[in-house]
Amino acid sequence: QSALTQPPSASGSPGQSVTISCTGTSGDVGAYNYVSWYQQHPGKAPKLMIYEVTKRPSGVPDRFSGSKSGNTASLTVSGLQAEDEADYYCSSYADSKNWVFGTGTKVTVL
Amino acid 31 reads A
Instruction: Kindly state the DSSP code that residue 83 receives in the 8-state scheme.
Output: G
Q: Do residues 84 and 109 make contact, with C-beta atoms less than 8 angstroms apart?
A: yes
Q: Is 3 in the site for other proteins (CB under 8 A)?
A: yes
Of 14, 15, 57, 79, the residue at the interface with other proteins (CB under 8 A) is 57
Q: Binding other proteins by CB under 8 A: which of 74, 104, 107, 109?
A: 104
Is 108 a binder of other proteins (CB under 8 A)? no
67 part of the interface to other proteins, by CB under 8 A: no
d(Cα 49, Cα 32) in Å, to the nearest integer? 18
Residues 13-52 that bind other proteins (CB under 8 A): 33-34, 36, 38, 40, 45-48, 51-52
Binding other proteins by CB under 8 A: which of 61, 72, 78, 101?
101
Rounded CA-CA distance 67/72 in Å is 9
Pairing of strands 99-101, 72-77: unpaired
Half-sphere exposure of 90 (CA within 13 A, CB side): 36
Residues that bind other proteins (CB under 8 A): 1, 3, 33-34, 36, 38, 40, 45-48, 51-52, 55, 57, 89, 91, 93, 96-104
